[in-house]
C-alpha cells in the first residue's frame, strides 16, 4: 500500500463512489434498446445505492475527524475510477459496471485491515456492508451478461 493515511484512502474511495454514481446516472439516462426497461430501473437502484454509500463514507470520514472531499473537482482529481463520456451499448454499460464494482470491492477490501488497525470498527463494519451489497449487485450484473 502507498503511504497515504487511512483517511486519505477513505477520501479516494469516496471520490471513486462519486464517479461511479455519475457513471450510473449517465447509463440510466442513455441506455437504449430492448434492455431499456430492465436496465433503466436497475441503474437507478444502483445509483441510489452508490449515493448512500458515498454519504456513509463521507460521514465516517467526518466521524474520524477529517474532512471529506466534497466538490466535483476534488472527486475527479482524487478518484481512481474513470468517467465514461461515451454512450456504450447496454451490454458494454453492464460490463463496465462489473469492472468498476470489482475494482471498488478490491479497494474497499484492502482498506479494511488498515482501518481496523486504527481501532475504528464502525468504519470497518460499514466497508464490510458495502462489499456485501456490491457483491449481490455484481452477481446480478454478471448474470445479465451471461444471457
Mean pLDDT of 51-76: 97
At residue 35, φ and ψ (nearest 5 deg) are: -95, 5
Q: For residue range 48-62, what is the model confidence (pLDDT) as tens digits?
A: 999 999 999 999 999
- What is the spatial distance between Cα 90 and Cα 41, in angstroms, rounded to a whole number? 13
Q: For residue range 81-127, what is the model confidence (pLDDT) as tens digits?
A: 999 999 999 999 999 999 999 999 999 999 999 999 989 999 999 99
Domain coordinates in residue numbering, the chain:
6-145
- What is the spatial distance between Cα 104 and Cα 27, in angstroms, rounded to a whole number? 18
Return the residue matching grid coordinates 475510477: 81
pTM listed for this prediction: 0.94
DSSP string, 49-81: HHHHHHHHHHHHHHHTT-PPP-SHHHHHHH-SS
- What is the spatial distance between Cα 21 and Cα 47, in angstroms, rounded to a whole number? 5
Architecture per CATH, domain 6-145, reads as: Up-down Bundle (1.20)
**Which pLDDT belongs to residue 4?**
57
**Which pLDDT belongs to residue 83?**
95
36-63 and 6-30 are packed helices; what angle lies between their axes, rounded to 10 degrees? Answer: 160
Amino acid at each position: 500500500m502507498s503511504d497515504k493515511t487511512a483517511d486519505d484512502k477513505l477520501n479516494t474511495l469516496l471520490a471513486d463512489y462519486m464517479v461511479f454514481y455519475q457513471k450510473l446516472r449517465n447509463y440510466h439516462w442513455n441506455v437504449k434498446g430492448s434492455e431499456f426497461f430492465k436496465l433503466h430501473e436497475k441503474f437507478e437502484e444502483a445509483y441510489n445505492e452508490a449515493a448512500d454509500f458515498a454519504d456513509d463514507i463521507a460521514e465516517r470520514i467526518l466521524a474520524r475527524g477529517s474532512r471529506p472531499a466534497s466538490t466535483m473537482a476534488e472527486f475527479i482529481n482524487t478518484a481512481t475510477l474513470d468517467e465514461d463520456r461515451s454512450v456504450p451499448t447496454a451490454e458494454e454499460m453492464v460490463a463496465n459496471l462489473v469492472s468498476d464494482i470489482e475494482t471498488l470491492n478490491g479497494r474497499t477490501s484492502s482498506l479494511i485491515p488498515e482501518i481496523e488497525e486504527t481501532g475504528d470498527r464502525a468504519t470497518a463494519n460499514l466497508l464490510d456492508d458495502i462489499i456485501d451489497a456490491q457483491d449481490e449487485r455484481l452477481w446480478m450484473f454478471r448474470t445479465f451478461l451471461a444471457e
